[in-house]
């Protein structure tokens, strides 16, 4: 997946708004992406429930992020994993485990592995790839999800992008630009997992879904549920915050 393909064939759609704007498929994906990330920085508190046929467990964590290049995540529960941290600085990633006093650099091969044993990958949590920059976006249709009219957009991985998903399909609510559903496919075009978002609430002045669910395509009775407890956007945060030293002291 190396030869450069045409990346400027973006489908556009005219939507009715106060200013009668014309948005490209890329604009729509960017607006949906920024709902969660914030334009510059973001902070969140979340809980993640991992459901398996014979058991389930919940992990709680805090996350800080600055654009696409910097991210820091702190595990706050359960007790046996409390204090673990994960850091991303541009293309480099580390994990810190206070129980064994060990800092580990994560190789790119670990990006596809489940984060904390969940159906989310390390790439999802640490933001290694960008849905805006690493994909070509094509507006395919309009469809309804749970009564909401959505843009149906296909995201095709750019040939030069070294990313996990070969393609994605997003359903983005036309009114609020919230991604209500996403299907993620591997490089061979096979569906790997489906994501849905619901239970919209105001978080730091933004209407956001606070209940997200991931369901693997091939694993019966398996899913991961993410609940957003708090989110803040565009808070003051320097690059120096995302340091190996801070991994060991952040609370």
* Pairing of β 92-97 and β 102-105: antiparallel
pTM of the model: 0.83
Q: What is the mean pLDDT of each run of 10 residues along the chain (251 residues)?
A: 29 29 89 82 95 97 90 95 93 91 86 86 71 94 94 95 90 96 96 96 93 96 97 93 95 88
The residues, any chain, with a CB within 8 Å of residue 51's CB and separated by 6 or more, are 221, 222, 223, 224, 225
6 in a structural domain: no
- Chain centre distance of CA 61: 15
Per-residue pLDDT of 92-149, as tens digits, reads 889 999 999 999 998 877 877 888 999 988 777 666 678 999 999 999 999 999 899 9
Q: What is the 3-state secondary structure (H, E, C) of 205-242?
A: CEEEEEEEEEEECCCCCCEEEEEEEEEEECCCCCHHHC
**Residue 21 confidence (pLDDT):** 53
CATH number at residue 69: 2.50.20.10
Give the integer Cα–Cα distance in Å for 151 and 139: 7
| Tokens found for residue 124 | 């999802």
Q: How many residues does the chain have?
A: 251
- Chain centre distance of CA 96: 21
69 in a structural domain: yes
**Residue 17 confidence (pLDDT):** 32
Domain of 28 in residue numbering reads as 12-249
The residues, any chain, with a CB within 8 Å of residue 234's CB and separated by 6 or more, are 38, 39, 40, 41, 42
Query: What is the total count of domains within the chain?
Result: 1
47 in a structural domain: yes
83 in a structural domain: yes
**Residue 13 confidence (pLDDT):** 26
User: Do residues 230 and 201 make contact, with C-beta atoms less than 8 angstroms apart?
Assistant: no
Which string of DSSP letters, residue by residue, matches 138-193?
EEEEEEEETTEEEEEEEEEE-TT---S-SEEEEEEETTT--EEEEEEE-TTS-EEE
1 in a structural domain: no
**Residue 6 confidence (pLDDT):** 27
**Residue 180 confidence (pLDDT):** 97
| Tokens found for residue 7 | 């990346």
């Amino acid at each position: 997946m190396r030869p450069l393909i045409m990346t400027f064939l973006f489908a556009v759609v005219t939507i009715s708004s106060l200013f009668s704007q014309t948005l490209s498929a890329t604009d729509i994906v960017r607006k949906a992406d920024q709902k969660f990330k914030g334009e510059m920085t973001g902070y969140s508190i979340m809980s993640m429930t991992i459901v398996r046929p014979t058991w389930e467990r919940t992990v709680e964590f805090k996350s800080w992020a600055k654009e696409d290049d910097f991210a820091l995540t702190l595990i706050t529960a359960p007790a046996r994993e409390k204090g673990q941290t994960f850091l991303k600085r541009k293309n480099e990633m580390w994990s810190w485990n206070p129980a064994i006093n060990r800092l580990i650099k994560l190789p790119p091969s670990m990006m596809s592995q489940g984060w904390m044993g969940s159906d989310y990958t390390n790439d999802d949590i640490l933001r290694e790839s960008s849905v805006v920059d690493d994909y070509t976006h094509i507006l395919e249709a309009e469809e309804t999800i749970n009564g909401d009219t959505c843009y149906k957009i296909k995201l095709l991985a750019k040939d030069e992008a070294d990313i996990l998903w070969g393609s994605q399909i997003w359903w983005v609510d036309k009114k609020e630009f919230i991604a209500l559903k996403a299907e993620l496919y591997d490089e061979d075009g096979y569906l790997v997992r489906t994501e849905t978002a619901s239970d919209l609430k105001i978080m730091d002045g933004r209407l956001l879904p606070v209940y997200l669910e991931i369901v693997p395509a091939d694993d019966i009775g398996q899913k991961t549920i993410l609940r957003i407890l708090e989110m803040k956007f565009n808070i003051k945060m320097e690059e120096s915050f995302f340091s190996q030293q801070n991994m060991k002291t952040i609370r």
